[in-house]
Structure 1
Amino acid sequence: MNISIPIKRVVIALHILIWSALLSLPYIVSDAASDYRIGTFPGLFFTLCGVIHMVIFYTHALVLYPRLWNKQYWWLYFPSVLLLVGASFPLKYGIMAHWFPTVLRDLSSYKFVFAPSVGAFIVSLVYCKVVERIRAERIQKDKQAEQLSSELKFLRSQVSPHFLFNVLTNLVSLARKKSDQLEPALIMLSDLMRYMLYDTTGKKVLLTKEIAYLNSYIALQKLRFGNDVDINSHIDTDGHAANYTIEPMLLIPFVENAFKHGTGYTQHPEINIRLSVTGDILTFEVQNQFDSDPLTSKDENSGIGLANVKSRLDLLYPGNHRLTIRNQQPVFHVTLILKLT
């Protein structure tokens, strides 16, 4: 998986910073009078060994591990590592023999000369494992994000046709009545269609747009039912709505469900809708009367809207919402509490 350019630059900068600090350490902690020594090692010898360790680190991290480990020629990995680390021993010995004979004569310092080559390899191996783990986790997260995006696209694709079908059914009833309200209803429908087609293409929309869409839908239903249904809606945002966004068409399925199942089965149908925003908390309630008799179910697609919105809430607002559905005949009551962003 490719790492983005800004992240690559940060990683490269960190590597340069760390190795620059290690290679220049003798000249930071010591002085010229002591030949920039760190313990018994002259500063220049320490730096030269640091360069060798750096070669071991990057040769393993950039060549041996990615090309041989878990590859077709994995059996070449171990002799290659032995050759890489082993080659540093005579190289260090040659540097001591030619330029630093005092270090060569101090046998007790040999373990501090040769052991770091093995240490550089171990550090490189750990680095490769950590990078591999991070890469695997990033790939997994990308797969999950892609799957989430696909699921959301599918769920959104379900919302519009289902919603449009119900609205068109409502308009048919107005046409049958030859109602004068058909023309304004069609104008409202065009506004709703514009919102569905153009304003919901992004990830989220302004809460004010979603509320305006909700109000248009309620107004459309009032045109349809007139005084036959008691529709009570109360929206109180205290000016906070303009500061937040929301997943588009998240609220409408609850209202749509209320009109679908809360009308036609009682003598005095009543639908209550209440929305309030306090701080970053949205509270949305929809209440309607219903008949639980399965023989009165309007069609086999009943419940698509609610199932859809439950899935979208779980995907988009995990841990940031609470959906309560109380189904106690003759009242169906939905309460959604949502933390806005």
Structure 2
Amino acid sequence: MVLFLAIHHYFREIPPQLDRPVPGDMDRKPYHFILFSPSLLRLLMILGLGTSIELILQFEQEKKKYEELEKQRMIKELNFLKNQLNPHFLFNALNNIYSLARKKSADTTPAILLLSDMLRYVLYESGKDKVSLGQEVAFIKNYVNLEKLKFSAENAPKISHSFQLLHEDYPIEPLLFVTLIENAFKHGISYLSPSFVMISLVENEKEILLSVLNSVSRQKDGQSINNNPEGVGINNLRKRMELLYPGRHSFKQIYENSTFKSFLTIKK
């Protein structure tokens, strides 16, 4: 711009060259008032365009760098949450098998086989970014069957599950649903009064909906013993859903009529 102004200042008094001299040309006012403004405007437009392009390129570079850093942060946080979940699940599963072994139940061996399949899934599949919905459902079924082995025919609660999958190979993050199911068995099963756990998972073209209902035991005075208070597992689930499906999920829990209800929806 400085070079342009210097050159323009040097040539500002030179009139335009004409094929034929016109009388009175020397008396004409300097021409630079006509030439200067459009030229300067064109120069500013070129400079502005170049500056805009450079700013856009820098903005894109900074945006990519920020997205990469955010992605790395999410991966670290998800790995941390998974590491918290797996020992918690293993602890509960070992407790189940221990109770069977103490009673010298014939179901101890099938329980160990179920746990083996579940641990294989946790060790080799949960480390992946995605698994198929069918794999996740198979894991849930193994978990429910393992829980059922704890009860005899006399004290068995009512346990039901229903799975309706439209696309079994639909990719989903592993170990998303087990926390709600684990909590239902932990807080909903009673050996003193009738209890139940109901699990339903429906997948259609638009969403995946998991609903888990469990009974809440009551004391003699009619007060509920617990109402599924939020612990580490539920807090981790909320954080994972915010990281994995921001703006594409809903999660709510309701306690009414001695029943605790959990609903988790993931939009495709």
Q: What TM-score, normalized to structure 2?
A: 0.79
Deviation at 1:178, TM superposition (A): 0.7
2:250 to 303, 319, 322: 322
User: What amino acid is the match of 1:267?
Assistant: S
- Does the alignment pair 1:209 with 2:135? yes
Deviation at 1:323, TM superposition (A): 1.6
- Identify if the C-alpha distance between structure 1 residues 179 and 265 changes in structure 2 by more than 3 Å, giving closer, same or farther: closer
2:65 to 122, 125, 139: 139
* Residue of structure 2 equivalent to 1:127: 53
For residues 61 and 234 of structure 2, the distance between their equivalents in structure 1, rounded to whole angstroms, comes to 38
* Residue of structure 1 equivalent to 2:158: 230
User: What amino acid is the match of 1:146?
Assistant: Q
Does structure 2 conserve the Cα–Cα contact (< 8 Å) formed by 1:171 and 1:182? yes
User: What amino acid is the match of 1:330?
Assistant: S
* Residue of structure 1 equivalent to 2:208: 282
Deviation at 1:126, TM superposition (A): 2.4
* Residue of structure 2 equivalent to 1:244: 170
Structure 2 counterpart SS, 1:172: helix
Unaligned 5+ residue runs, structure 2?
Answer: 22-30
* Residue of structure 1 equivalent to 2:266: 338
Structure 2 counterpart SS, 1:225: coil
- Identify if the C-alpha distance between structure 1 residues 267 and 291 changes in structure 2 by more than 3 Å, giving closer, same or farther: closer
* Residue of structure 2 equivalent to 1:18: none
Unaligned 5+ residue runs, structure 1?
Answer: 1-80, 94-99
* Residue of structure 2 equivalent to 1:220: 146
1:187 to 98, 104, 113: 113
Deviation at 1:113, TM superposition (A): 4.8
Worse overlay, 329-338 or 194-203: 329-338
* Deviation per residue, 1:132-176 (Å, 9 max, x gap): 333333333333222222221111111111111111111110111
User: What amino acid is the match of 1:315?
Assistant: L
For residues 101 and 203 of structure 1, the distance between their equivalents in structure 2, rounded to whole angstroms, comes to 73
Matches within 5 A, 1:243-282: 243-264=169-190, 266-282=192-208
User: More helix by proportion, 1 or 2?
Assistant: 1
Structure 1 counterpart SS, 2:200: strand
User: What amino acid is the match of 2:64?
Assistant: R
* Residue of structure 1 equivalent to 2:237: 309
- Does the alignment pair 1:198 with 2:198? no
2:90 to 164, 177, 191: 164
Does structure 2 conserve the Cα–Cα contact (< 8 Å) formed by 1:265 and 1:290? no
- Identify if the C-alpha distance between structure 1 residues 138 and 292 changes in structure 2 by more than 3 Å, giving closer, same or farther: farther
For residues 108 and 170 of structure 2, the distance between their equivalents in structure 1, rounded to whole angstroms, comes to 34
Does structure 1 conserve the Cα–Cα contact (< 8 Å) formed by 2:217 and 2:224? no
- Identify if the C-alpha distance between structure 1 residues 180 and 265 changes in structure 2 by more than 3 Å, giving closer, same or farther: closer
Tell me how large the CA RMSD over aligned residues is.
3.2
Deviation at 1:333, TM superposition (A): 1.0
User: What amino acid is the match of 1:322?
Assistant: S
Deviation at 1:277, TM superposition (A): 1.6
* Deviation per residue, 1:177-221 (Å, 9 max, x gap): 111111111111111011111112221211011011111111111
Q: What TM-score, normalized to structure 1?
A: 0.64
